[in-house]
Amino acid sequence: MNDAAIVIIDYGAGNLRSVANAITKLGYQAKVTSNTDDVLNAAAVILPGVGAAGDTMDSLEKLGMSKVIRQLIYEKRPLFAVCVGLQILFSGTEEQGWHECMGVIPGIVRRLPSGLKIPHMGWNQVKQMVTHPLFDGIPNETNFYFVHSYYANPDDISVTAGTTNYGIPICSVVIKDNLIATQFHPEKSGKYGLKMYSNYLKAALGER
Amino acid sequence: MLTKRIIPCLDVTQGRVVKGLSFTHLSDAGDPVELAAFYYREGADELVFLDIGATPEGRDLMTDVVKHVSEQVFIPLAVGGGLRSISDMRHTLEAGADKITINTAAVLTPELISQGAQKFGSQCIVVAIDAKRINSENKPEWEVCTHGGRKPTGIDAIEWARRVVTLGAGELLLTSWNADGQRAGYDLELTRAISEAVSVPVIASGGAGNLEHLYEALTIGKADAALAASIFHYRIYSICQAKNYLAERGIPVRR
């Protein structure tokens, strides 16, 4: 059996093609899969995200994938979660009522405050709160592409590696051990988005 | 701070880029994939592809275009023109589009908006509104047109904008039928009226002839993004020039 080093989790939603195209552009090959063994055997895992958090949780549960994701995080293995992928790592979300999420990062996902246009859609700056290989070659305050109506609020602010202002400061990058999660979409954020994936993959695959 | 988006629009028919003048006079030019890559390198914030032919063969060609563009362009892609069903939407999204825009189909079948939003998320569903000024005694009014601006519907554009947002549209692409192709500026009254009426982002479209027009749409018109075709397509201005101009006037843009 030939295990793929890089896998993109397919849970029937999300912008899988965009993420796969970005990885291909970087010169890697990624396997798009909904098989839990593929994910457990991979060196680098990407959890894409588009759509509602509750549906995403349901889909991951059905595939047995939420257990696998918990295991990856528990074992401190490389995982990159995007947008809704970030949100479902938290304790729960207020989207469409209350939905219990994975609870890997303590904190609540809330609706963006009214007064500004919702969704928060477009390019906004990410302020880097830590020095980390993820940000190698990426200037502080670089613009990334956001599209979301809910935002995650970690109880422990030490996991917040990047913040973005949209009326209020939003936690836009989470880093905890080898878990990376972004509220924005690197695959839609031009050359610096690609650079971010490249930094992640290099570290995950042990390249230097 | 959230930046204002500059969005080049590629009108496509039978897999080729065209530019319309008031939706009717067309001049063929350009490979959409090459043009998209060019705009990406220049710093476009997003791209909109509209299949103005909207024939079944054209739609297949458009799907190929989207596939190829999404392999080399890493900014959001919105695709529309002739999408009539959830399966059309799915097909387009699977090809690599991030958003789909619907116009005539939304007017004929408003449930398509709610179904699309439920299936793919509101952020995927852009409702395109073509609005035509109508004579009225006191305040300006606009009527929604369909079929590329040819068919008036009798629906008030502002009411329609509110309704489609309630149904689940995540963004509006607002085109002034009167201003489109004239290069004499956006319909600022229309843009502002719609932008103030809804809670979702509004892309102003139709009428950009110079950079001042973009500035006006984003300030007076209160638009979140400005879309233009011919000023970029014919290289009258580059995306960089547009962004530098706006930045000098205090508009937050990505550079």
- The yes-or-no verdict on residue B15 having pLDDT over 90 is no
Select from A17, A118, A124 the Cβ nearest to the Cβ of B70. Answer: A17
Can you give the pLDDT at residue A3? 67
Interface contact flag, B1 A165, Cβ < 8 Å: yes
pLDDT mean over B104-122: 93
A116, A109, A194: which is closest to A151 by C-alpha? A109
Helix (H, G, I), strand (E, B), or coil: what is residue A56? helix
How many domains does chain A fold into? 1
Sign of the dihedral defined by the CA atoms of residues B198, B202, B208, B213, in that order:
positive
Chain A positions in Cβ-Cβ contact with residue B3 (cut-off 8 Å): 122-124, 143
**Paired residues of B110 in beta bridges:** none
Q: Which amino acid appears at position A72 of this protein?
A: L
Chain B positions in Cβ-Cβ contact with residue A121 (cut-off 8 Å): 123, 170-171, 201, 224
Task: Print pLDDT tens along chain A (208 aa).
Answer: 456 799 999 987 667 889 999 999 999 999 999 999 999 999 999 999 877 788 889 999 999 999 999 999 999 999 999 999 999 999 999 988 899 999 999 999 999 999 999 999 999 999 999 999 999 999 999 999 999 999 999 999 999 999 999 999 999 999 999 999 999 999 999 999 999 999 999 999 987 5
Instruction: Please write the tens of the pLDDT for every residue from B226-242.
Output: 999 989 988 889 999 99
CB contact A138 to B (< 8 Å): no
Contact B174, B196 (CB under 8 A): no
User: What six digits make up the tokens of B250?
Assistant: 């205090």
Cβ within 8 Å of residue B45, ≥6 positions away: A122, A123, B3, B5, B6, B7, B75, B76, B225, B254
Q: Does A95 reside within a domain?
A: yes
CA B132 to chain centre: 16
Can you give the pLDDT at residue B29? 52
Q: Does A1 reside within a domain?
A: no
Q: Does A129 reside within a domain?
A: yes
What domain range is A51 assigned to? Answer: 6-204
Q: Does A184 reside within a domain?
A: yes
Q: At which residue do the structure tokens 């982002």 appear?
A: B201
Most distant CA atoms of chain B, gap in Å:
52
A97, A79, A69: which is closest to A43 by C-alpha? A79
pLDDT mean over B204-224: 97
What's the mean per-residue pLDDT of chain B? 91
Measured CA to CA in angstroms, residue B22 lies from B30, B182, B206 at distances of 20, 7, 9
Q: Does A31 reside within a domain?
A: yes
Cβ within 8 Å of residue A43, ≥6 positions away: A5, A6, A78, A204, A205, A206
Q: Where are the alpha helices (DSSP H) in B9-128?
A: 32-42, 56-72, 86-95, 104-108, 111-120
Residue B150 to chain A, least CA–CA distance (Å): 31
Residue B151 to chain A, least CA–CA distance (Å): 31
Can you give the pLDDT at residue B130? 96
Q: Does A77 reside within a domain?
A: yes
CB contact A25 to B (< 8 Å): yes
Domains of chain B and any CATH numbers: 5-248 (3.20.20.70)
Interface contact flag, A189 B74, Cβ < 8 Å: yes
Interface contact flag, A123 B199, Cβ < 8 Å: no
Q: Does A86 reside within a domain?
A: yes
CB contact B1 to A (< 8 Å): yes
Can you give the pLDDT at residue A81? 97
Can you give the pLDDT at residue B24? 44
- The yes-or-no verdict on residue B167 having pLDDT over 90 is yes
Q: Does A144 reside within a domain?
A: yes
B14, B6, B18: which is closest to B230 by C-alpha? B18
Can you give the pLDDT at residue B21? 44
Can you give the pLDDT at residue A14? 62
Select from B93, B98, B121 the Cβ nearest to the Cβ of A52. Answer: B121
CB contact A188 to B (< 8 Å): yes
Q: A189: domain CATH number?
A: 3.40.50.880
Interface contact flag, A124 B1, Cβ < 8 Å: yes
- The yes-or-no verdict on residue B177 having pLDDT over 60 is yes
Can you give the pLDDT at residue B19? 61
Can you give the pLDDT at residue B135? 76
Sign of the dihedral defined by the CA atoms of residues B71, A9, A150, A180, in that order:
negative
pLDDT mean over B188-201: 97
